[in-house]
């Protein structure tokens, strides 16, 4: 049985930022939850010569991207070494 939504492609996640410390991760999680912004966290594979011991990527829906960026800049500012802004479409294609 096929529905009208079967052929619909749903891939509207944007990579918001890389986070390089667990403290920054918990701060950002709390702020996004408080603002009721849906997110998920991906953990990229460790590389051999990676200079960061901790690395995760926050991804949000494209409808909430602007609000999430504002939250990140309010908490961490422009030049925080624990955060690297990405703000690009997630390259993973699920369908």
Domains identified in the chain, total number: 1
Instruction: Report in angstroms the alpha-carbon separations of 21 from 18, 66, 81.
Output: 10, 23, 10
In a domain, 11, yes or no: no
Q: What is the pLDDT of residues 31-56, one digit of tens each?
A: 999 999 999 999 998 888 888 889 99
Answer whether residue 39 is part of any domain: yes
Write down the pLDDT at residue 28.
96
Instruction: For residue 4, tell me if it sits in a domain.
Output: no
User: Would residue 79 count as lying in a domain?
Assistant: yes
pLDDT at 22: 95
- Tell me whether residue 2 is in a domain: no
| Range 71-74 contact pairs with CB under 8 angstroms and sequence separation of 24 or more | 71/28, 71/31, 71/32, 71/35, 71/37, 72/16, 72/17, 72/28
**Residue ranges of E strands in the chain:** 13-19, 39-42, 56-61, 83-89
Let me know if residue 16 belongs to a domain: no
Task: Give me the domain span that covers residue 84.
Answer: 21-89
In a domain, 33, yes or no: yes
27 inside domain: yes
């Amino acid at each position: 049985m096929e529905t009208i939504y079967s052929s619909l492609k749903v891939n509207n996640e944007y990579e918001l930022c890389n986070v390089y410390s667990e403290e920054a991760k918990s701060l950002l999680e709390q702020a996004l939850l408080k603002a009721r912004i849906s997110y998920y966290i991906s953990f990229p594979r460790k590389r051999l010569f990676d200079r960061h011991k901790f690395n995760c990527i926050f991804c949000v829906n494209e409808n909430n991207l602007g609000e999430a960026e504002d939250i990140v800049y309010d908490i961490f500012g422009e030049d925080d070494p624990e955060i690297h802004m990405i703000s690009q479409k997630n390259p993973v294609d699920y369908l």
